Structure 1
Amino acid sequence: MNNFLDTILTPFTYVVSWVLWAFHELFTTIGMNADSGVTWTLSIIFLVLLIRTLLIPVFVKQIKSQRAMQALQPDLRKLQAKYKGKTDQMSRQAMVQEQQALFKKHKTNPLSSCLPLLVQMPFFFALFRVLNEASRASDDGRSIGALSAEHIRSFDQSSILGAPLSETFLGTINSGAVNWAVIIVAVVMILAMTASQFFTQRQLMTKNMSAEALQGPFMQQQKMMLYILPLVFGIGGINFPIGVLIYWTASNLWTLGQQFWVIRNNPTPGSEAERELNARRAAKGLPPVGVKKEDAEAAEQAAAEQAAKGQRTQPQRKNRRKKK
């Protein structure tokens, strides 16, 4: 099993290690200390920026798939009502087939919201492999991927706020000499990592889902992800090297900011974010999203004309004849 994973991760390990090497060389060239934890931390952060920039097309596809999932919620509820109370094997199979037909029609699936995470995971595991093996590789004097033995030694000896980048929370707890800097930095990074992941998912649910989606079965999946994913990464974080925690926290903050921009400027139709966007546009004298200015002006003029026709005309009082 390990050999199989090694075979899969080897290309990603070379890519990740080469990018780390390239950024480290860049920062060293401009005068930063080659053995400084700040230099290696910046290399990790810029690795995140590069990977997430390359993943923007995948993120756009995720947004489209999520909106397609929300659009088919009424059909899914009708399907559930159709098969409600039917527990036989044939009915369950028919329901699954009809659900699959719906997903195919709308060109989406329930796992679409996890697409960027799934694409990013091989790079994450490759980075974990590089940073987790740094201490042993440094002791053995060997290289990892594109990082030479000298680079590995430099990384293994680097630290941020007194916490070595290759050390883990669990590792220092189990060691004979506990490094409190590692514990403090790791706890802060784990909290930042899980909080950013939680608020990213919560932002999606509270701001960018239509009323139909909020009542559908898709919402149950979103609620599960809201609590399960941060919990999984929070527990797993105690065994992540500080360098990996920096990578994952930076990646989560990118996701949070990227999603905030998309929700604010291109919200899902019928969502709270769309209502807020239309309110901002109305304050600037602009029509609602998706309505041309000419059409909005024509509709406003027609409404004004209709209102004018509906107004009661005050009767004119006729002058009475004077009595002779």
Structure 2
Amino acid sequence: MPDILGTILVPFKWLVSVIMLGFHEGLTALGMPGDNGWTWTLSIIGLVLVIRAALIPVFVKQIKAQRGMQALQPEMKKLQQKYKGKTDQISRQAMSQEQMALYKAHGTNPFSACLPMLIQMPFFFSLFQVLSGVSHASQNAQGIGALSPEQVQQFDRADIFSAPLSAAFLPQVQGGDVNVAVVVLSVIMILAMIASQFITQKQIMSKNMSDEAMASPFMRQQKLMLYVLPLVFGIGGINFPIGVLIYWTTTNLWTMGQQFFVIRRMPTPGSPAYREYQERRVAKGLPLLGAKKVEEPTEEVVESKGQRVQPQRKNRKKK
């Protein structure tokens, strides 16, 4: 059976390796050693910055989609009440059609809220395959994507704090010769990855969701995902190479900073962050957002009509 996933990821592996190689060549031109772990670590961080910067327009669409989803929650609740207890196919189809009409009217859909993560996943899996195949490719003098055999061998020798970037926690524990540095660094990176993802989701729920959204049935799913997603990535992280953990933790830190900026400068209307934003505007003497401008009454200047002054006739000269 052909490796369908591997075939799909081939162009992504090339793109990932090209971006990493570009940063690596730039850093070596600045004087950093080519086989140094920090050179390759900064190359991975550079990969994150390029991908996340390219995803900023998608992130803006995600914000609009999330706010659209929150805005239609009251109407969605009415729709659910309308079809409550109706399980026949006709009713379910009618409810689905009305839901799609609501999404269209508000210019949003549930898929848009997940779009940035879905776009990032091919790059994540591609980096995972690149780093996981480094040792095998290095032993067989093979290249990976845009990386030459010599560059693959450089990466295979690269380490930070005596932990190779291509090593992972689980193989170390399962193997006989345990590298303590790999185990300790992997645990620290996994905890950082879990914490950054949890904090990001927590600040959205506690600060940037309207009161109506907090009371909706959709919120129960969000609270469940708040704890489930970090746990899933934490469990999966034991098999991630350290380089992949660096990539994912850096991505989470970018997301956390980006979300902090959005919550502070562009909060969701009706949320606690929005009320705090309004208070800051009042403290600065700025008008409240959404407040109608009150026009000041203009006083009409009434000209007083006095007694008309008759023009005086000039005396004519006597002939």
Taking structure 2 as the reference length, what is the TM-score of the superposition?
Answer: 0.90
**1:189 aligned partner:** 189
Once the 2 structures are TM-superposed, how far is the Cα of residue 46 of structure 1 from its aligned partner?
A: 0.8
1:292-317 Cα distance to aligned partner (Å, 9 max, x none): 7xx2xx37x79xxxxxxxxxxxxxxx
Once the 2 structures are TM-superposed, how far is the Cα of residue 291 of structure 1 from its aligned partner?
A: 4.0
* Cα distance in 2, alignment partners of residues 110 and 228 from structure 1: 19
Identity score, percent: 64
* Cα distance in 2, alignment partners of residues 7 and 104 from structure 1: 35
Q: Is the 8 A contact 1:70 1:218 kept in 2?
A: no
Q: Which has the higher helix share?
A: 1
* Cα distance in 2, alignment partners of residues 105 and 177 from structure 1: 60
Bigger shift: 12-21 or 224-233? 224-233
**1:271 aligned partner:** 271
Once the 2 structures are TM-superposed, how far is the Cα of residue 19 of structure 1 from its aligned partner?
A: 0.7
**2:256 aligned partner:** 256
**2:94 aligned partner:** 94
5+ residue gaps, structure 2: 298-319
**2:115 aligned partner:** 115
1:264-321 Cα distance to aligned partner (Å, 9 max, x none): 00111111111011111111111112447xx2xx37x79xxxxxxxxxxxxxxxxxxx
Once the 2 structures are TM-superposed, how far is the Cα of residue 107 of structure 1 from its aligned partner?
A: 2.2
Bigger shift: 178-187 or 213-222? 213-222
1:129-186 Cα distance to aligned partner (Å, 9 max, x none): 1001001111111000000111111111111111110000001111111111111100
SS of the equivalent of 2:3 reads helix
2:184 maps to 1:164: no
**1:199 aligned partner:** 199
Matches within 5 A, 1:260-299: 260-291=260-291, 295=293, 298=294
Once the 2 structures are TM-superposed, how far is the Cα of residue 195 of structure 1 from its aligned partner?
A: 1.0
**2:28 aligned partner:** 28
**2:235 aligned partner:** 235
**1:139 aligned partner:** 139
After TM superposition, what 4+ stretches of structure 1 lie above 4 angstroms from structure 2? Answer: none
Q: Which amino acid aligns with 2:111?
A: L
Q: Which amino acid aligns with 1:178?
A: V
**1:49 aligned partner:** 49
Once the 2 structures are TM-superposed, how far is the Cα of residue 68 of structure 1 from its aligned partner?
A: 0.4
1:37-69 Cα distance to aligned partner (Å, 9 max, x none): 111100000110111000000000000000000
CA change 1:67–1:2 in 2 (3 A) is farther
Count of matched residue positions in the alignment of Structure 1 and Structure 2:
297
1:107-131 Cα distance to aligned partner (Å, 9 max, x none): 2222322111001111111111100
What is the aligned-residue RMSD (CA, Å)?
1.5
* Cα distance in 2, alignment partners of residues 153 and 289 from structure 1: 58
Once the 2 structures are TM-superposed, how far is the Cα of residue 228 of structure 1 from its aligned partner?
A: 1.8
Q: Is the 8 A contact 1:130 1:144 kept in 2?
A: yes
Larger Rg: 2
* Cα distance in 2, alignment partners of residues 229 and 261 from structure 1: 23
* Cα distance in 1, alignment partners of residues 21 and 130 from structure 2: 12
**1:80 aligned partner:** 80
* Cα distance in 1, alignment partners of residues 146 and 290 from structure 2: 50
**2:5 aligned partner:** 5
* Cα distance in 2, alignment partners of residues 93 and 290 from structure 1: 38
Once the 2 structures are TM-superposed, how far is the Cα of residue 6 of structure 1 from its aligned partner?
A: 1.9
